Structure 1
Amino acid sequence: HRFHHWIIPLTLVVLCGIFWIQKHGTAGIGRFFGPIMVFWFLVLGGTGLLQIVQNPEILRALNPIYAARFIVSNPLLTFMILGALVLCVTGAEALYADMGHFGKRPIRVAWFAMVMPTLTLNYFGQGALLLANPAAVKNPFYLMVPPWALVPMVLLSTVATIIASQALITGAFSVTKQVIQLGYLPRLRVLHTSVRQTGQIYIPFVNWSLFALILLAVMLFKTSGNLAHAYGIAVCAVMVITTVLTFFVIRYSWKLPLAVCILATGLFFVVDLAFFSSAMLKVVDGGWFPLLIGFGIFVLMMTWREGRQILNDKLRADAIDLPGFLEAVFVTPPMRVAGTAVFLTAEKGAVPNALLHNLKHNKVLHEQNLFVTIQSHEVPWIGLDKRLDIESLGHDCWQVVVHYGFKNEPDLPRAIQQ
């Protein structure tokens, strides 16, 4: 208790360090993350196993009859605690970004071989401790370790938390980049922090926006217990949204029958909705925070998307047809100069302003002219064999359309060289 007043200041210092280091990238220290997290999970499993050995009666909790009796005897209480139970699997909301970085097989192997067994041992160990000493309910996690190991455990927990936070921040950068490429956010500055891995990126606006919001959350909630209400709603909402989006993917993208889609997602949706409904009981206690942020980001994204659509429709209506314009220009051909000119145009088949100004002021046209349009598609990857569409416009002029998925790394100079 004598160090309690230092918790928030130290938290702010750690947060400042985490977000400051983002601009330098984590490629150098990232190789230590894996071994540290393996050690962390082994410690979790070991401390829990020790308590289970001392109080093996906790293993009776594996019998589902006890859970069924509790649900039947306390239906309202069962519903109320669902929102807290979901905190056992926090971090699952970041799996989308992790899937993009590592793929599904490494995540499955890590979960079934390491994470799930050690977490289960730790949770059962906490239960065993509480059976032996109910007073330990004030902090069962740290009371499982002997007094001499308390400080090392706190330090290890802090490092593990920092690594987990780094995974979420990196995921935020990755997802934001995809959202930009899909046209739901304005173009933000994206910096690459590694010369070897294209996925190592840094987006300053996202970084410092997250920093400001997290500082606000720390000052508002002050303790992890208070923050749990906000976190629970956020996690449950992500799971509900993921299930709903899964239905649309398998129904409208994979073209599976409606009955199959309902069977595949219906059970998950009912479970997710039960957890989310329970978590919504904590809206007043802090759950409003993630709901407000999520709603604000959603409105921002949809407003930008709609505004861009209106602007593009206007530009398309006012655009000059490129093939017709070139035919008119070559009625009295302008002077041709050596070299190749590349004109970027937002709309395929529209005359770029740069071409108009070049003809007006320089009164020349290059020997070869490429009119390049970049199109982003709502698929993750587009292979090199489908990257370019090239159409001859005559007079050594070419219309080039470069296609990218939202996870492709746009590289226009390389595409033009092809």
Structure 2
Amino acid sequence: MVIADGILTPSMSVLSAVYGIKTKAGGLHENYAILITCMILVGLFALQHIGTQRVGFLFTPIILVWLLSISGVGIYNIIHWNPRVVSALSPYYVYKLFKLTGKDGWTSLGGIVLCITGAEAMFADLGHFSQLSIRIAFTTIIYPSLILAYMGEAAYLSKHKEDLQRSFYRAIPEVVFWPVFIIATLATVVASQAVISATFSIISQCRALNCFPRVKIIHTSNQVHGQIYIPEVNWMLMVFCLLVVSQLSL
């Protein structure tokens, strides 16, 4: 599952971020978005051999700015479009939904399964962070930011149902669109790097347990034991990512 994430997460996340350009440049051909995505992915995988130590200091500020950005946009959309969406925090409405829709309500949960993807990759990275640090980061920053972002998007969609396919970028105020677009693209690169690193870690552990074919493992840091690079897996992931992106253009 983590290996599949290592293929799907970089390709889909980077592609979705780059597609934000079409929000402001509607005449841009789809192939250009595909080309830009492929260039970013090739660059990302080509830099894996140097390890994350040299650029890792940028990851935290990028993700922090990203979370603050989407929470700020979410607050704006809630206030501007539909403040009543805050009531969705009440569990009563979930109960009411299931009561009215029955089995179809449970089936509809499949549409939000992407909200929990990546959890298995997080467990692969647990060796790099303490449980306390993960709990603090999640409860104080990540979870509130995501809730505000989703509620803001829901508030926007309540007034603009026609923008369902591109609601995230459509909901961003004009004055901050390009800064948010840039930080969104950088955040997808960081997220992709995290999944790629998790894939390397999982394969390394499987190899140690003789559950995976022998591959060359290179340690990219003398200080941090968990920072590794597996050339064969890296290029395999890159090829499959490019195939996934290219298939979307057909």
Name the TM-score, length of structure 2 as normaliser: 0.84
CA positional deviation for 1:48: 0.3
2:50 aligned partner: 24
Q: Structure 2: which amino acid aligns with 1:16?
A: V
Select which of 57, 60, 65 maps to 1:39. 65
Whole-Å separation in 1 of the counterparts to 2:109 and 2:165: 20
Alpha-carbon contact 2:85-2:151 (below 8 Å) kept: yes
- Partner of 2:213, secondary structure, is coil
Whole-Å separation in 1 of the counterparts to 2:184 and 2:249: 18
Q: Structure 1: which amino acid aligns with 2:52?
A: T
CA positional deviation for 1:169: 0.6
1:264-343 maps to which residues of 2 (within 5 A)? none
For structure 1, the 5+ residue unaligned runs are 224-418
Whole-Å separation in 1 of the counterparts to 2:204 and 2:216: 10
Alpha-carbon contact 1:98-1:171 (below 8 Å) kept: yes
Alpha-carbon contact 2:66-2:183 (below 8 Å) kept: yes
Residues 157-208 of structure 1: CA distance to partner in whole angstroms, max 9, x if unpaired?
A: 1100000000011111111111111011232111111222121110001101
- Partner of 1:132, secondary structure, is coil
CA positional deviation for 1:146: 1.8
Give the number of the structure whose residues are more often helix, by fraction. Answer: 2
2:27 aligned partner: 2
Q: Structure 2: which amino acid aligns with 1:81?
A: S
Q: Structure 2: which amino acid aligns with 1:44?
A: I
1:193 aligns with 2:243: no
Which structure has the higher relative contact order (CA within 8 Å, separation 6+)?
Answer: 2
Residues 33-82 of structure 1: CA distance to partner in whole angstroms, max 9, x if unpaired?
A: 00110110000111101111222111122233322222122224323321
1:107 aligns with 2:134: yes
Alpha-carbon contact 1:56-1:128 (below 8 Å) kept: yes
Alpha-carbon contact 1:130-1:136 (below 8 Å) kept: yes
Q: Structure 2: which amino acid aligns with 1:48?
A: G
Whole-Å separation in 1 of the counterparts to 2:74 and 2:151: 7
Residues 369-411 of structure 1: CA distance to partner in whole angstroms, max 9, x if unpaired?
A: xxxxxxxxxxxxxxxxxxxxxxxxxxxxxxxxxxxxxxxxxxx
1:122 aligns with 2:149: yes
1:74 aligns with 2:101: yes
1:48 aligned partner: 74
Alpha-carbon contact 1:48-1:123 (below 8 Å) kept: yes
Q: Structure 2: which amino acid aligns with 1:40?
A: W
CA positional deviation for 1:153: 1.9
- Partner of 2:53, secondary structure, is coil
Whole-Å separation in 2 of the counterparts to 1:219 and 1:77: 34
Whole-Å separation in 1 of the counterparts to 2:120 and 2:76: 30
The count of aligned residue pairs is 223
1:154 aligned partner: 181
Alpha-carbon contact 2:63-2:187 (below 8 Å) kept: yes
1:285 aligned partner: none
Residue 4 to residue 205, structure 1, CA distance change in 2 (3 Å)? same
Q: Structure 2: which amino acid aligns with 1:86?
A: V
Alpha-carbon contact 1:129-1:136 (below 8 Å) kept: no
Whole-Å separation in 2 of the counterparts to 1:220 and 1:58: 37
Select which of 123, 127, 133 maps to 2:160. 133
For structure 2, the 5+ residue unaligned runs are 1-25
1:14 aligned partner: 40
Alpha-carbon contact 1:44-1:119 (below 8 Å) kept: yes
- Partner of 1:112, secondary structure, is helix
Q: Structure 2: which amino acid aligns with 1:19?
A: F
Residues 300-339 of structure 1: CA distance to partner in whole angstroms, max 9, x if unpaired?
A: xxxxxxxxxxxxxxxxxxxxxxxxxxxxxxxxxxxxxxxx
Residue 76 to residue 219, structure 1, CA distance change in 2 (3 Å)? farther
CA positional deviation for 1:145: 1.6
- Partner of 1:198, secondary structure, is coil
Give the number of the structure whose residues are more often strand, by fraction. Answer: 1
Q: Which has the larger radius of gyration?
A: 1
Whole-Å separation in 2 of the counterparts to 1:157 and 1:3: 19
1:98 aligns with 2:163: no
Whole-Å separation in 2 of the counterparts to 1:152 and 1:98: 29
RMSD: 1.7
1:267 aligned partner: none
1:340-351 maps to which residues of 2 (within 5 A)? none
CA positional deviation for 1:222: 4.3
Q: Structure 2: which amino acid aligns with 1:125?
A: G
CA positional deviation for 1:95: 1.3
